Amino acid sequence: MGELDGRITIVTGGGRGIGFGIARRLCRAGANVLIAEFNPETGAEAVKQLTDEGYQAWFHETDVRKPESVQAMVDAVLARHGRIDILVNNAGLAELGPTETFPVEQWDLQVDVMYTGVFLCTRAVGNVMLEQGKGVILNISSIGGLGAWPLRTAYNSAKAAVISLTENVGCEWARRGVRVVSVAPGVTRTAMLQQMVEEGRATLERYNKRTPMGRVGEIEEIASVVQFLVSDRASYITATTVTVDGGWTAWGNLPLEE
């Protein structure tokens, strides 16, 4: 028996990367997971992989930026299962660039996916959970939302907003059975990171050196904290953000020794 046996779960942007790792980890703990993903190819592939491994997973094409798309996704879950126990707001993307020339379209895209999208999913699923008197919403923020990092004004501002949203909604719903928490991952080994390394926009060596633990995080290290936070073991945790960053945020001194 897994600790999340039968829990009806939604993971946005679960087609790849951290979202897929979370979906797989929650499946392994017994959850029934909907991959609510923008990209139909990766969404279907993720579900195939999970069901091939014997887990309960399905896919619904969803754009978290659009209220009607989010509501259709929620209606599909309710039609199939009649309730929602866990929502993981994970969908995201990173567009970097200098603030003084940053295109408004890229600003809007990041804010729409990572901030408004979190609000839209939280509102739609929150209504169901409040009616049930029970549920957990977990938002993936970032260490970027906890401090400054050049060329990432839009990304980091959106993530800081998610941290604030988590605190506000968590307090608002705290007496109504719905917990709202956030995980702020540090730099994590994903396809997105690999792509940035290949394009010369980042080097693993610099990230490793900047991290007190001397290495970037692994997807499984984020997913295991998510599993804890959405489980009943975390029943007294709400309206807060847990950093999973190998000490990155705490470090505020001269460059670390090699």
Ligand X SMILES: NC(=O)c1ccc[n+]([C@@H]2O[C@H](COP(=O)([O-])OP(=O)(O)OC[C@H]3O[C@@H](n4cnc5c(N)ncnc54)[C@H](O)[C@@H]3O)[C@@H](O)[C@H]2O)c1
H-type alpha helices, the chain: 17-28, 40-52, 67-81, 104-111, 117-132, 153-172, 191-198, 204-210, 219-230
Write the DSSP assignment of 145-201 as a string of letters. Answer: GGS--TT-HHHHHHHHHHHHHHHHHHHHTGGGTEEEEEEEE-SB-SHHHHHHHHTTS
* C-alpha to C-alpha distance for 57 and 128, rounded to whole angstroms: 20
Listed residue (206, 245, 198) closest to 225, CA to CA: 245
55 is catalytic: no
Residue 107, both tokens: 């600003």
Residue 237, both tokens: 């945790």
By CB under 6 A, the residues from 17 to 36 that bind ligand X are: 17-19
Contact yes or no for 32/80 (Cβ under 8 A): no
Cβ nearer to ligand X, comparing 159 with 179: 159
225 binds ligand X (CB under 6 A): no
Phi/psi at 109 (5° precision): -60, -45
Minimum Å distance from CB 236 to ligand X? Answer: 25
Cβ nearer to ligand X, comparing 51 with 195: 195
152 binds ligand X (CB under 6 A): no
187 binds ligand X (CB under 6 A): yes
Of these, 13, 126, 135, 170, which contacts ligand X (CB under 6 A)? 13
Residue 130, both tokens: 């409040």
Minimum Å distance from CB 1 to ligand X? Answer: 29
Minimum Å distance from CB 17 to ligand X? Answer: 2
Contact yes or no for 230/138 (Cβ under 8 A): yes
- Tell me, residue by residue from 118 to 147, as one string, x for binding to ligand X by CB under 6 A and - for no binding: ----------------------x-x-----
SS3 11: strand
Q: Which stretch binds ligand X (CB under 6 A): 52-60, 119-127, 166-174, 180-188?
A: 180-188
Of these, 4, 57, 64, 226, which contacts ligand X (CB under 6 A)? 64
42 binds ligand X (CB under 6 A): yes
166 binds ligand X (CB under 6 A): no
Distances in Å between the alpha carbon of 77 and those of 9, 11, 54, 222? 9, 12, 20, 25
Of these, 27, 38, 135, 238, which contacts ligand X (CB under 6 A)? 38
Minimum Å distance from CB 90 to ligand X? Answer: 5
Q: Which stretch binds ligand X (CB under 6 A): 7-15, 78-86, 224-232, 233-241?
A: 7-15
Cβ nearer to ligand X, comparing 21 with 126: 21
* C-alpha to C-alpha distance for 143 and 95, rounded to whole angstroms: 16
Binding footprint of ligand X on the chain (CB under 6 A):
12-13, 15-19, 37-39, 42, 62-65, 90-93, 113-114, 140, 142, 185, 187-188, 190-193
Residues with a known catalytic role: 155
